[in-house]
Amino acid sequence: MAKTMAEIQKEVDDFIGGFEEGYFSPLAMMARITEETGELAREINHYYGEKPKKTSEQAKTVAEELGDCLFVLTCMANSLDIDMEQAHDTVMAKFKNRDKDRWTKKEEK
């Protein structure tokens, strides 16, 4: 069964809440997001680009790296008291309005 974003945020918050250190500062988390995004880019390049993995490199997947990005983004949202479902709804409304005629729509069947 799929988790809601609220459930994901709570699960991450419960995990981080189990440590004295708690959440990192927003600036440190921005650095972590940058790091994880770089790791995702590396995996995308290995699987879909021209740069194959070295035989000595650990096997990782694009899904794993996306999961790492989601975890850090969730940590940042939690630490800043941002509801990710609400943030998603806001951005989707923006895209649906701003980009509604930007690309060729599929014809309904």
pTM of the predicted model, to two decimals? 0.85
Q: What DSSP letter does each residue of 29-45 carry, written as one string?
A: HHHHHHHHHHHHHHHHH
Q: What DSSP letter does each residue of 68-106 carry, written as one string?
A: HHHHHHHHHHHHTT--HHHHHHHHHHHHHHHTTTTSPPP
Token output for 84 = 């990710």
In a domain, residue 19? The reply is yes
CATH number of the CATH domain containing 93: 1.10.287.1080
In a domain, residue 108? The reply is no
In a domain, residue 36? The reply is yes
**What is the percent of the chain with per-residue pLDDT over 90, rounded to a whole number?**
67
What is the span of the domain harbouring residue 35? 5-98
In a domain, residue 103? The reply is no
Task: Please tell me the total count of domains within the chain.
Answer: 1
In a domain, residue 106? The reply is no
**What pLDDT digit, counting tens, does each position of 53-81 carry?**
777 777 778 999 999 999 999 999 999 99
Nearest partner of 68 among 32, 44, 42, judged by Cα: 32
Looking at residue 22, the DSSP 8-state letter turns out to be: -
In a domain, residue 105? The reply is no
